[in-house]
């Protein structure tokens, strides 16, 4: 079983800000600033569901980063945003 992730469209609005993104949590009106790598992951999830492995490949393709570091970055990103409810996780076969 694999887990897929997706932007919680009903909970967030976002706008480009240079290389990064600014995300507005619609429930509490708090703003979140995402840097370039986090923004790349967010954009991927905004396009549709993706697994952690697919997100790692986004970083490996676009950034000069080792696989271990990409895995850690994706895990941190997902941990933070899933906890805040801005990214939804679904169990997928």
Partner 1 sequence: MRQRSSTSASAGLIEASRAAFDRAHHVPQSVFTQELWSAARRAGLLPLVASAFSARFQPLPDDVQRDVTGNAMRNVRAISELQTIQKLFANAGLRWLVLKGPVLSHVVSRVPGARVYGDIDVLVHPEDLEQCLDLLLESRASPLDRNWAHIRQTQQSEISVELERGTLLDLHWHPITDPRIRAEIGIDLVGLFRRSQQVAFSGIHAPTLDPLDTVCYTSLHAVLAGAHQLRWLIDVRECLIWADAPPEALRQRAGELGCLLAVEVIIGRIAARLDPGARAYLPRRRRSVWAAFTGLIDRFATLDPGPDAYSGRAIFSSTRASTGKSLIVCVSALRRARRAGPGRRRVTSHVSVLRREDGTELDRSAWLDLARGHLQVAPGRTRRRTTRQGGQG
Where does this chain bind partner 1 (CB under 8 A)? 7, 9, 12-19, 21-24, 26, 29, 31, 33, 46
CA distance 58 to 44: 8
Q: How far is the CB of 20 from partner 1 (least distance, A)?
A: 8
Q: How far is the CB of 68 from partner 1 (least distance, A)?
A: 25
Closer to partner 1 by Cβ: residue 63 or 75: 63
Q: How far is the CB of 7 from partner 1 (least distance, A)?
A: 7
Assigned token pair, 8: 């919680």
User: Closest by alpha carbon to 52, among 28, 29, 81, 23?
Assistant: 81
**Secondary structure class of 29 (helix, strand, coil):** coil
């Amino acid at each position: 079983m694999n887990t897929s992730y997706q932007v919680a469209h009903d909970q967030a609005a976002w706008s480009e800000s240079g290389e990064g993104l600014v995300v507005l949590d619609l429930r509490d009106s708090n703003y979140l600033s995402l840097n370039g790598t986090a923004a790349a992951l967010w954009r991927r999830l905004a396009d549709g569901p993706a697994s952690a492995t697919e997100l790692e490949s986004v970083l490996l393709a676009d950034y000069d980063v080792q696989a271990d570091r990409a895995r850690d970055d994706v895990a941190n990103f997902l941990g933070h945003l899933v906890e805040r409810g801005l990214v939804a996780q679904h169990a997928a076969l």
